[in-house]
């Protein structure tokens, strides 16, 4: 495949930045732009190491699927669970930024992983870009989920949830890799659709059901301060 991995990184970064911009609407004043930039860049760095580690594993081996669910979510927790972010509502937003940066790196990773198995560059690239959108959505969502757990003082609960929902997601990613040399178009489209749908559902739930809690909780705190 003729796509240069360094250039293909932008195929992941651009949609991740667009998703970040859209998701931050309504949260103006609840975060620092500098921290959004830093967490996004740190997410890219962490995702790079996670993608490299994945390249040395055997697809569809249950032990690796579970191990990487633990490994990748702990990576995010390691950055977010620092003293300055404890019980801070903006930690949820920084978790989203971190996760989107983390997921953006997997586009060039998938290109490299399947480059020797697919002969049609345009065809392969289209499938990878579409499928990687699901990866970006998923990691953005789980980053925000962990960030909310740190803010709410329930890190164990939300970290465990992120790990559990990543196990079937990792299985779909491995299916995408091992089926790259399969001639069945419907199989490949089904796997790609599975990535996007799964990642999209998780992202929608976190953005619509979990993240808004930081606004409602902050309003309650403001009202209690005024009444006190």
- Encode pLDDT of 118-130 as tens digits: 545 566 667 777 8
Q: For 39-75, what is each residue's pLDDT tens digit?
A: 999 999 999 999 888 878 778 899 999 999 999 999 9
Kindly give the residue spans of alpha helices, DSSP state H, lying in the chain: 5-23, 33-54, 62-80, 90-104, 106-114, 121-152, 155-178, 185-205, 213-227
Q: Is residue 135 a contact partner of residue 203, using CB atoms and an 8 Å limit? A: no
DSSP single-letter state for residue 165: H
Closest CA to 106 of 151, 72, 141: 72
Q: For 76-108, what is each residue's pLDDT tens digit?
A: 999 999 999 998 999 999 999 999 999 999 887
User: Would you list the domain boundaries of the chain?
Assistant: 30-218
pTM of the model: 0.89
Output the six-digit token pair for 137. 């959505």
Compute the distance between CA of residue 29 and CA of residue 100 in angstroms, rounded to an integer. 20
- What's the pLDDT at 89? 93
């Amino acid at each position: 495949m003729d796509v240069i991995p360094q250039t293909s990184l932008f195929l992941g970064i651009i949609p991740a930045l667009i998703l970040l911009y859209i998701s931050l609407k309504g949260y103006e004043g609840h975060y620092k732009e500098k921290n959004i930039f830093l967490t996004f860049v740190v997410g890219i760095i962490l995702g790079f190491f996670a993608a490299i580690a994945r390249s040395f594993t055997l697809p569809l081996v249950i032990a690796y699927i579970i191990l990487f669910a633990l490994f990748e979510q702990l990576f995010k927790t390691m950055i977010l669970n620092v003293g300055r972010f404890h019980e801070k509502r903006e930690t949820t937003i920084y978790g989203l930024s971190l996760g989107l940066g983390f997921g953006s790196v997997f586009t060039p990773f998938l290109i490299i992983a399947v480059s020797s198995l697919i002969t049609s560059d345009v065809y392969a690239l289209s499938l990878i870009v579409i499928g990687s959108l699901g990866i970006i959505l998923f990691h953005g969502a789980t980053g925000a989920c962990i960030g909310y757990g740190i803010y709410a003082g329930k890190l164990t609960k939300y970290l465990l949830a992120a790990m559990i929902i990543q196990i079937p997601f990792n299985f779909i990613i491995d299916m995408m890799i091992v089926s790259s040399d399969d001639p069945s178009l419907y199989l490949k489209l089904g796997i790609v659709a599975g990535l996007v749908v799964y990642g999209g559902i998780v992202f929608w739930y976190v953005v619509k059901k979990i993240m808004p809690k930081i606004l409602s909780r902050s309003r309650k705190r403001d009202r209690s301060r005024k009444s006190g």
